[in-house]
Every structure is written in C-alpha cells, then in structure tokens.
Amino acid sequence: MNRRTALQTGIGLALASPLLAAVQNSRLEAAAAVLQHATSTGQIDAAALHVWQAERESAWAFGAATDHDAIFLLASISKPISVAAIMSLADAGEFDLNDSVQKFLPEFRGEGRERITMRHLFTHASGLPDQLPENSKLRAAHASLSEFVTAAIRTPLLFPAGTRFGYSSMAILLAAEVATRISGKPIARLVEETVLQPLEMKHSALGVGQLPTSDLMRCQVEEAAPESGAGAPSAQNWDWNSDYWRQLGTPWGGMHGSAADVARFLRAFLHPPEGFLKPETIALMLRNQNPPDMWPRGLGFDLGSGLSGPQRSPNVFGHTGSTGTLCWADPDSDSLCVVLTTLPSQAAAPHPRSLAAEHVAEAVR
C-alpha cells in the first residue's frame, strides 16, 4: 500500500472525548482498509480517500496513486462542478432557472422542446437521453464537443419536460452550451475561471488542460460501461484512457481531478468562501428542485441516501461517477468524503468505494 495520511487537529477534535476520537479513528482506518485490500489484491489499480470534518482532515492514497494529489477521471462528479460554473452566470443575472432553453438555443425547437427550462436540464427532468443513440459513432469519429451539441439538440425526447426523472448527461451538455453562448467562453475555460481558480483546485481540469498526463490514473476500461468502450480493442482510440477523450472535456463526465480538489469543491458548499458563488445560489444548488414524487435533485447535485453518506441526515449532497468515483458532504455533521478509484462502478457490487464511504459515514455521524 502507498499511503499518505495528513491529520490536522483543531477545536472540533480537541473538544471531543478521547474515546470518541478513538472510535472515529478506528472507523476511518476501516474505510482505508477497504481500499488497501482492494488495491493489494489487484481488484483496483489506484484509489484515493479524503475525509474532512470540522478542523480534522485525513487523506490516503493506494496502489498506483502514490500521493493524495493523484489525478483521476471524475466521470459524473464533473456534473456539479460544471453546473457551479454555469450558475456563476445566474449569479450575474444572465439567466433564470425558469428560462426556456430555447431562449438561448433558438434551434432547440419542436416536440415540446420549448417547454424545457434551465431547471429541467440541471435536475434531469428534461426528457433528453443520458447518452446519444450515436454516442459510440461520434466518439469513434473523434467528434468535437460542438458536434455532440448539434446531435443533442436534435435527438428525440424520451418524455415531456417535467413529467418524470430521467438521468441525462445530454441535459448537462446543453446547459453548458447555453453558458458558452452567454459568456462567449468554452465551458472548460468557464470552469477554470469560476470554479477551479477561485477554489485553488490546482490538480483539476475539465479535460486535461495543463495537467501532466503522467499523473493521470488509468481507468480499468475492461469493466467499463458499454458507452465508454467496455475494453473493446476497437475502442482504444476513444475510450476513457484515450488522448481524444481526455482532451475533449465533456461537461457531463470529462473532468480530471484529485481527491483533495474534490474536497475543496465540496467544502465551498459547506462554508462558502469569498469570490465563489453567492450564498443564496449555493443554497439553491443544494435544495431539492424536483416534485415530491420524483427523484430528488439539487442543481447538478444528487441528494440523499444513494451516496453512501450519513443515513440519518436529510441534507447529504454529492455525486457518483461511472469510473468508480464517489463524493458526499453533510452539513449536519460538517463533514465530507471523497473516494476516487479506477474500477468502474458497475464492475463490483458492492463497490469498494461505497463500502469505504459507509465507514466514513459511521465515523462522522
């Protein structure tokens, strides 16, 4: 095991009893042991764990990840990061959640598309599909992000806007396209300027940006989702590890980052810093925007028990990723957990990321 642990003790831990601190340490060690075992047996090539509660911070790296700055493909953890960048434009009064998408994308029309709002895009209630029917064809042809946008604007809707929940990466893509047309900036640049730089996320980029490729952990694509190539030899030039995919910078799943950087992002929603989003915008992103009979979603964030976070807290928020990533934050216990691995989420049940996160949840409750 390659392990690096950093502990900072402040007033939060100092006020805790020695027994409570010992119990918390034991459960955190159990979380680390899950990932140690998974990497030592070869199930997972690389993993990182980052935990923060009040003034206490712990970080571990395992396998091919030699320190906590190791960079992973975050997959759908990219979504809340991209949405935070897009919401910086809402902060500036450039759009409203109830605005029609067609207001900004005039070619987005027909089949009820005029009823789709920005809120629908962020909360997966738009009717747009998760992946395009021609996804593999586009990737094999090394299509540009704008070609994906053109296809997403035209793709058939699966249901009328607002009538049900349907997880949709293409909805996040179109939200990013709205942001690009409003700001005149590529979404990767907008993310850099409004999220990564203000939060000092120095080991992250939408795409690869200026990150050293030698620091990127390789995904175990042999057990990946079909839309990501699933290890097929014919997909090697467009799968998760390809130069094409790494550089494309898809706002729904193309972010690369370290566990420490994801932790910085989540902390900004627990304790909003100056120079980031307005506090009222942050609160809006963490509030359920869907009807009571629909899967709860904030703006870009998943909410609730599916994140393997503290089960007794109704306010847990975060996201998972198909490359084997998971993160959550809990305002009630003032804590957060980031688990990054190279093992695709569908490759194991239960996945080590979930087992580790559950141990952390027990430690901080």
DSSP state of 193: I
Cα-Cα-Cα-Cα torsion 1, 12, 335, 4, nearest 10 degrees, comes to -20
How far, in Å, are 156, 165, 244 from residue 132 at the CA level? 9, 17, 18
Here the contacts of 205-211 (C-beta below 8 Å, separation 24 or greater) are: 205/249, 205/255, 205/256, 205/257, 206/78, 206/81, 206/82, 206/249, 206/251, 206/254, 206/255, 207/246, 207/247, 207/248, 207/249, 207/254, 207/256, 208/246, 208/247, 208/249, 208/256, 211/71, 211/256
Instruction: Output the pTM of the full model.
Output: 0.93
Per-residue pLDDT of the chain (365 residues; tens, 9 = 90+): 444 444 332 223 333 455 445 567 889 999 999 999 999 999 999 999 999 998 789 999 999 999 989 999 999 999 999 999 999 999 999 999 999 999 999 999 999 999 999 999 999 999 999 999 999 999 999 999 999 999 999 999 999 999 999 999 999 999 999 999 999 999 999 999 999 999 999 999 999 999 998 899 999 998 887 777 777 888 999 999 999 999 999 999 999 999 999 999 999 999 999 999 999 999 999 999 999 999 999 999 999 877 888 887 889 999 999 999 999 999 999 999 999 999 999 999 999 999 999 999 999 97
For 325-362, how does the pLDDT look when each residue is reduced to its tens digit (9 = 90+)? 999 999 999 999 999 999 999 999 999 999 999 999 99
Whether the bond into 310 is cis, omega within 30 of 0: no
Structural domains of the chain ordered from first start: 22-95+187-364 (3.40.710.10)
User: What radius of gyration, in Å, describes the C-alpha atoms of the chain?
Assistant: 20
CB-based contacts of 155, cutoff 8 Å, min separation 6: 128, 129, 132, 133, 170
